[in-house]
Amino acid sequence: MANNSQIAIYPGTFDPVTYGHIDIIRRAAALFDHLIIAVAPNRIKGPIFNVEERVDLLSATVSELSNIEVTPFSGLLMDYAKSKNANIIIRGLRAISDFEYEIQMAAMNRQLAADVETLFLSPTAEYSFLSSTMVRDVARHNGDVSAFVPEVVVEALAAKFR
């Protein structure tokens, strides 16, 4: 990869990865030379899948995209971005409720690394309501989540909640 290539990071918990995430990933992959999907542990949210499982599920769902790298990360995102020579952070915005938190996070990240920009992408309208939390809740109660997540994730959720 050339030194002047555009490297972007799309960080998140992805517990589980949804079609909304995949929509953002596909669109970001088309914009940048290299897209790193950085999977955070986020023990506060109490994920149902461990980091390795989430990396595997993401890798399976975006395997056809050649400029994607799926990796776990922990610590400060700006330190991770610097270690990967990334200059763009991708963040998804679904609704106005996401906006305040995301703007605060972008401002803090700018203080930590002024040379790394945050780019907000909104998912297509059909996924604008979708969250991993909602998918987990529906799956936990044996609801059909196949409209919201790829089949490999449907199967993984079913196995978790058996």
Alpha helices, H only, 32-95? 51-61, 77-83
| 76-114 per-position pLDDT tens digit | 999 999 999 999 999 999 877 778 888 999 999 999 999
Nearest Cα neighbor of 73 from 91, 101, 54 is: 54
DSSP 72: E
Known catalytic residues are 21, 45, 94, 132
Q: Bridge-partner residues for 88, per DSSP?
A: 8, 117
| 110-133 per-position pLDDT tens digit | 999 999 999 999 989 899 889 999
Model-level pTM greater than 0.85? yes
Distance in angstroms (rounded) separating the CA atoms of residues 143 and 131:
15
Domains and CATH numbers, the chain: 7-160 (3.40.50.620)
